[in-house]
Structure 1
Amino acid sequence: MQQKWWQRFIPRSAFSQTVLLIGCLLLINQLVSYLTVAMYVIKPSYQQINQLIARQVKLLFVDGVDIGREHLTIVDALNAKVRDDGMTIYNLQQARLAGIEQATYYSFWSSQMSEYLGGEAEVRVTHGKVLQIWIRPPQAPSVWINVPLIGQNVSDLSPLTLYLMVIGALSVGGGWWFARQQNRPLRRLQQAALSVSRGQYPAPLPLKGSSELVEVTNTFNQMAQSMKQLEQDRVLLMAGISHDLRTPLTRIRLASEMMVAEDQYLKEGIVNDIEDMDAIISQFIAYIRQDQDTLREPGQINQLIQDIAQAEANRPDTIEVVLADCPTAQFQPIGIKRVLSNLVENALRYGNGWLRISSQFDGKRIGFSVEDNGPGVNESQIPMLFHPFTQGDTARGSVGSGLGLAIIKRIIDRHQGTVSLANRPEGGLIAQVWIPLE
């Protein structure tokens, strides 16, 4: 199903979804609370203040303005009527000098003041230490009346805003902590499931969280314990089979050494069969054990490649070694050496006297590849070669138990790496392995 564009912005994890849900609910709650308080508390308060100011302004024009004397202006006449209410009247020039142009125009207050004064009025507000209301009344459009409101300053952080911010922060913090506590058992369960998929069995997880999580965790613990017991039983079974088979094989080999010279050809065949059977048994044991008890150590992949090439130097095949500048990485040296040995053994077995071992580094991963010049493998069979007991087609023979590549795959999976096979354009097969540095 094709994903819709808006679904790309929805978080994937349960933790992020829970935090997003709580945050959206809190945001809606804060907006509704703020609008409610603004509509039913703040707005009536400012309407009352606006009405009181309008009454004061009306009182200035009740008895008219006395400008009978020549030197007396309307501003002086209005100021003369102001007593101790703090109002100051300015003409247009004086208002500009006093900062009227920096004041903010409020249409809501202006419409209310126009209604109260019975004509078109204009209201502006100057924010500062003291909130100053500027009114241009319809009775005298050429003047500005300044009314300071002591103790009122909308630029300061109001108690309502502070309250909403604190409540919002505490709510979001509490929701984040709650979601994190709910998500922690799921994260532990995820990490434990990944460990089990890699063949590592962690200690039983603590039964914490909701009842559903406790039930799931308890079921997972039982499943992991059963799988661990099954793995141990399988290892014990294979160890017993190995011991029981190798003992008679040793007797047969000892008996073959006592054969007369005339039966030399028969002796060589028996010895070869015993060696093949012993190699198959060793592969079974390696597939079961997976080097689980081996810890990762800092090592150089180039050194392992050189050791493998030197160990195979007595063969008649031509072995080329191409080494890149690879950093030291953390890996299981025994496991990676087994991977190299198996790949080189396959290349020597199925190749035509030539193979190349190379190392690579792409900045985040170290890698190595093994190439041969054999007949290659059918492309349709390549994905199946990493399954246990699966072998290539007759073009590359059918020698062995079919566990070599399966062992390689399990070891590389334990390193969170990748392994792939591909036919070379020149003929033959190339096996490529990548291991992340972290």
Structure 2
Amino acid sequence: MPEPAKLVLKWWQRLLPRNAFSQTVVLIGSLLLINQLVSYWSVAVYFIKPSYEQINQLIARQINILFVDGVDVGREHLSMVDALNAKVRHDGMTVYNLKQARKAGLDNAAYYGFLSEQMSGYLGGEAEVRFSQGETLNVWIRPPQAPKLWIKVPLTSINESDLSPLTLYLLVIGALSVAGGWLFARKQNKPLKRLQKAAFAVSKGQFPDPLPLSGSTEIVEVTHAFNQMAHSMKQLEQDRALLMAGISHDLRTPLTRIRLASEMMVEDDQYLKDGIVGDIEDMDAIITQFIAYIRNDEDVARELFQVNQLIQEISQQESHRNGVLETSLSECPEILIHPVAIKRVLSNLVENAFRYGNGWVKISSFQQGRFVGFSVEDDGPGIDEATAETLFQPFTQGDSARGSVGSGLGLAIIKRIIDRHNGKVSLANRANGGLIARVLLPKT
């Protein structure tokens, strides 16, 4: 296919509606338009045209009668126009010369070719027929018997400005068809919209109530299957949370006993004691991450809060670390968030920055369109950006350049929290080395 044809095809495809509702409305509207055109053409050809032809024939008969006896213009010194008007005084017709006809509105009359040809046949010579619309519909005829004269015939029973029964019929049928198509498409689209919202909620870890089974048979079957899937996923999520919570709880009991036992070790084994305590703290941190990952914060009420306040709190809490922690705060509005969860996001990002960086961390806040955002930068070795998205998966470690310390749940926790806030999180390498993590949260 030639390149211009491809461009035209792409442009045309962009104009076509994508959703089922719009496609149904366009389909019904197109079929209705074709039906209206065919109906109008049929009525015009088989009803309106014969009526005008019949009127044309009747007018031709009157004109033939007008000229059949000739016109006496010598007696009483009458002009041809006056003589003809005297003969048609009671027939409603008026005869004009060209100057009078133009003054009476001839120039505003529209020429009709097929009626002119028909009139020429009836009158036996070249004739011209025009129509003009004033208070009444007027027919102008230039007869072959007197080519310099015009005869005007008013059709008092026909007025083109009136709303004809045909036009009224087409308007009513068109309006009813469009309204019916719109209601049908809306009824078909409503369950699909409901299903779309529910599927989006499930993708974010929310499990709505079972959807009502309404609509066509196919939609009812799809909705029923979705309800079963959502119920199974909810049950699986609950079982997993219960299992992980139970394991985390059961592990902390022996860890506590081991720590108590280590406190009773003699001073000569201090190095061994320190190693045991360090291992216990690492294991406790991993268990804490497990619990944070399975915790569901959806039931916690959100509130309007200032992101800059959270950054300042984190900055104070992390001030004891060896290294430099900088902040760069822009003026940002309050947004609707769960402050504890967003603070956990900031804490995890700062923890990763100090863990994998070389001692320099910077936290910034900013506005970007309809979002309020913050970023955490470090001066570490960075990551392979091709695998950046996979780092948000549970139990996924970073590349060898940034080590493999921890459980691999930190970024997964961040991603889950930000998704539940309808926000965005991304990782990218800094131009001068290091990593920058950017978080965007919607203003409303």
Give the alignment's TM-score, normalised by structure 2.
Answer: 0.95
Map 1:12-91 onto structure 2 (within 5 A): 12-69=18-75, 71-91=77-97
> Deviation at 1:297?
2.4
Distance (Å, rounded) in 2 between the aligned partners of 1:95 and 1:37: 33
Map 1:77-116 onto structure 2 (within 5 A): 77-116=83-122
| Aligned residue in 1 for 2:356 | 350
1:242 aligns with 2:276: no
Q: Which amino acid aligns with 1:331?
A: I
Q: Structure 1 residues 175 and 95 mapped into 2: Cα distance closer, same or farther (>3 Å)?
A: same
Match of 1:307 among 292, 309, 313: 313
Q: Structure 1 residues 380 and 77 mapped into 2: Cα distance closer, same or farther (>3 Å)?
A: closer
Q: Which amino acid aligns with 2:126?
A: E
Aligned residue for 2:388, secondary structure, equals: helix
- Spell out, residue by residue over 1:72-113, the C-alpha distance to the aligned partner (whole angstroms, 9 max, x if none): 100111011114221111112211221211222222222221
Aligned residue for 1:338, secondary structure, equals: helix
Q: Which amino acid aligns with 1:204?
A: P
- Spell out, residue by residue over 1:239-273, the C-alpha distance to the aligned partner (whole angstroms, 9 max, x if none): 11111111121222222223333333222222221
1:171 aligns with 2:187: no
1:208 aligns with 2:218: no
> Deviation at 1:127?
0.8
Distance (Å, rounded) in 2 between the aligned partners of 1:136 and 1:393: 96
- Spell out, residue by residue over 1:176-203, the C-alpha distance to the aligned partner (whole angstroms, 9 max, x if none): 1101100111111111111101100011
- Spell out, residue by residue over 1:376-417, the C-alpha distance to the aligned partner (whole angstroms, 9 max, x if none): 224444333222211123332221101111111222222232
1:263 aligns with 2:269: yes
Aligned residue for 2:45, secondary structure, equals: helix
8 Å CA contact 1:290–1:411 kept in 2: the answer is: no
Q: Aligned pair count?
A: 438
> Deviation at 1:290?
4.5
Distance (Å, rounded) in 1 between the aligned partners of 2:317 and 2:238: 34
| Aligned residue in 2 for 1:183 | 189
- Spell out, residue by residue over 1:151-206, the C-alpha distance to the aligned partner (whole angstroms, 9 max, x if none): 20112221101110111011011101101100111111111111101100011000
Q: Which amino acid aligns with 1:231?
A: E
Distance (Å, rounded) in 1 between the aligned partners of 2:289 and 2:14: 47
Distance (Å, rounded) in 1 between the aligned partners of 2:383 and 2:150: 96
Q: Which amino acid aligns with 2:322?
A: P
8 Å CA contact 1:290–1:407 kept in 2: the answer is: no
| Aligned residue in 1 for 2:322 | 316
Distance (Å, rounded) in 2 between the aligned partners of 1:26 and 1:304: 60
| Aligned residue in 1 for 2:398 | 392
What stretches of structure 2 of length at least 5 have no aligned partner? none
1:137 aligns with 2:143: yes
The farther-off stretch of 304-313 and 381-390 is: 381-390
Distance (Å, rounded) in 1 between the aligned partners of 2:227 and 2:308: 41
Give the alignment's TM-score, normalised by structure 1.
Answer: 0.96
1:369 aligns with 2:396: no
- Spell out, residue by residue over 1:266-293, the C-alpha distance to the aligned partner (whole angstroms, 9 max, x if none): 2222222111111101111111224232
> Deviation at 1:309?
0.8
- The alignment yields a C-alpha RMSD, in angstroms, of 1.8
Distance (Å, rounded) in 2 between the aligned partners of 1:117 and 1:325: 90
Aligned residue for 2:244, secondary structure, equals: helix
1:340 aligns with 2:356: no
8 Å CA contact 1:290–1:335 kept in 2: the answer is: no
